[in-house]
Amino acid sequence: MKKYLIVGIFLWLMPFESFSQNWVSVDSGFTSYVNQLTFDSVNNKLYAIGYFTVAGGSVNTPNSTAQYNGVKWDTIPVINNSSYIIGSIITYNNKLVFTANDAILSSDGISADTIAVHTNGWVLSLFVNNNDLYAMGVIDSINGVIASRIARYDGTVWRAMDTTTSFTGSINCAAMYNGELYIGGNFLNQTGTIGFVAKWDGTQWQPVGNLSSSFNVNILCLEVYNNKLYAAGYIGTNNGNPLLIHNIASWDGIQWDNVGGGVNFSVKDLQVYNNELYAGGHFFQAGGCPIYSLAKWNGTEWCGLGFNANSTFVNCLAVYNNNLYLGGNFKTVLGDTMNYVTQWNGGNYTDTCGVLTSVSEISNPLSLVTISPNPFNSSTTITFSEEQKNTAINIKDILGNTIQQLTTNNQQLIIDMSAFAKGIYFVNIKTEQGILNKKLIKQ
């Protein structure tokens, strides 16, 4: 029997029809998908890259880029050139730097200068740390300098990172962690000893643990949260490793670890917002719970935000003016038209939370407990999949006040709520297999 332990939390705090109020349209959005959102802290703009030809309902965008000033979408000066195929945008030395076709350009808003030409493939990502600009992707050279998938620019010249290491595959992303540069992607060095995530020691690339011994890993994003480095994208089950790493893992400087059981398919972007880590992608489970395309991790559990986009996905996340923005292939959110970009307006609201942590005897963890009837008039019955041993049950009102505390050793327990007012309550059930929280509705 395959065994799991799930710690699942299910909270519904408001009616379904009001979920959409948590999502706000962003100036009528776009005509097609959004692949990248980037915040420009110098000019206080939000940039979008995708496959769209019109932004804000009427602004023509021949190269599928646009900028947002908090009110409306507009074209990006200089970049709005139909001959450019834009791959990435970033701010460096108070200028806008972007990739276009086989070149990297720098713009002061009036004109654009080419600062690099690369060969063989594409620059997939740009990254800035202090006074250095990094270009990475599938590239062999930049301005004649050997670049085994990555090179560094100091504002004057491009430099190779490590001439002793040759990578195959692609480098997709970078982040600074504990003062060191980390890169992620679908790469391996010539000996197969460094891959998927690597760190720069100032002279050479060094391995970072071992996420997998196969090429079945593609890191799409790196983000630092709560003193850990998170790597996400496509990550298998680590060749049977009991860490249960699924598509996202955390690194504490010593070892990789499971992140609450992860998500069941790809993560395309990570973003820290309001002291929580948000993951967007193409998945329908996080922490073993039904959470679609967007989830947040608070260091303990995964929670959904009612995005409810089973057939769509989130490509990118960004924080702009203290608000969280999402871009992807979603045209609507819960019936409201968003057109491929939306702003989160739900505060601390969550609808479903859970964490898949280790091994146990629950073959179908989500069927561990049933509560029926629910809604109910005066009482309801909790039924477990097996007889219990010292299972603790704690019932709270909507304000978080405990109103009942019970213990059972039986397979069924009747909850008498006749003395309490009509409304929404939450039951916390702590079993030997895990912890569940479910909503109760007294009519």
Domain limit, last residue, from 304, 324, 357: 357
Query: Is the same domain home to 124 and 156?
Result: yes
Query: Is the same domain home to 297 and 264?
Result: yes
Asked if residue 86 lies in contact with residue 101, where contact means CB atoms within 8 angstroms, the answer is no
CA–CA dist 236, 389 (Å, integer) = 35
Query: Is the same domain home to 349 and 382?
Result: no
Asked if residue 134 lies in contact with residue 182, where contact means CB atoms within 8 angstroms, the answer is no
- Whole-prediction pTM value? 0.79
Domain limit, last residue, from 357, 382, 400: 357
Q: Does residue 249 lie in a domain region?
A: yes
Q: Does residue 296 lie in a domain region?
A: yes
Query: Is the same domain home to 303 and 411?
Result: no
Query: Is the same domain home to 312 and 408?
Result: no
Q: What is the mean pLDDT of each run of 10 residues along the chain (443 residues)?
A: 35 40 92 97 95 96 95 91 87 94 92 90 93 95 92 95 91 97 95 93 92 76 98 75 77 93 93 97 86 93 79 92 96 90 87 60 47 88 80 78 88 91 80 68 84
Query: Is the same domain home to 438 and 325?
Result: no
Identity (one letter) of the amino acid at 240? G
* pLDDT at residue number 367: 43
CA–CA dist 217, 224 (Å, integer) = 20
Strands 266-273 and 276-282 turn out to be: antiparallel
Structure tokens at 309: 């986009």
* pLDDT at residue number 83: 79
Q: Does residue 1 lie in a domain region?
A: no
Asked if residue 351 lies in contact with residue 305, where contact means CB atoms within 8 angstroms, the answer is yes
CA nearest to 365, candidates 42, 16, 17, 8: 8
Domain limit, last residue, from 303, 325, 357: 357
* pLDDT at residue number 17: 40
415: containing domain: 368-442
Q: Does residue 127 lie in a domain region?
A: yes
Q: Does residue 377 lie in a domain region?
A: yes
* pLDDT at residue number 285: 85
Query: Is the same domain home to 274 and 163?
Result: yes
CA–CA dist 322, 165 (Å, integer) = 40
Q: Does residue 208 lie in a domain region?
A: yes
Q: How many domains, in total, are found in the chain?
A: 2
Query: Is the same domain home to 271 and 381?
Result: no
| CATH number of the domain that residue 408 is part of | 2.60.40.1930
CA nearest to 215, candidates 246, 192, 247: 192
Asked if residue 271 lies in contact with residue 317, where contact means CB atoms within 8 angstroms, the answer is yes
Spell out a b/e string for 330-365, using b for 16 or more CB atoms within 10 Å of the CB, else e: bbebbeeebbbbbbbebeebbbbbbbbbeeeebeeb
Asked if residue 264 lies in contact with residue 287, where contact means CB atoms within 8 angstroms, the answer is no
Q: Does residue 423 lie in a domain region?
A: yes
| CATH number of the domain that residue 324 is part of | 2.130.10.10
* pLDDT at residue number 48: 97
CA triple 187-190-195, angle to 5 deg? 30
Q: Does residue 378 lie in a domain region?
A: yes
* pLDDT at residue number 341: 97
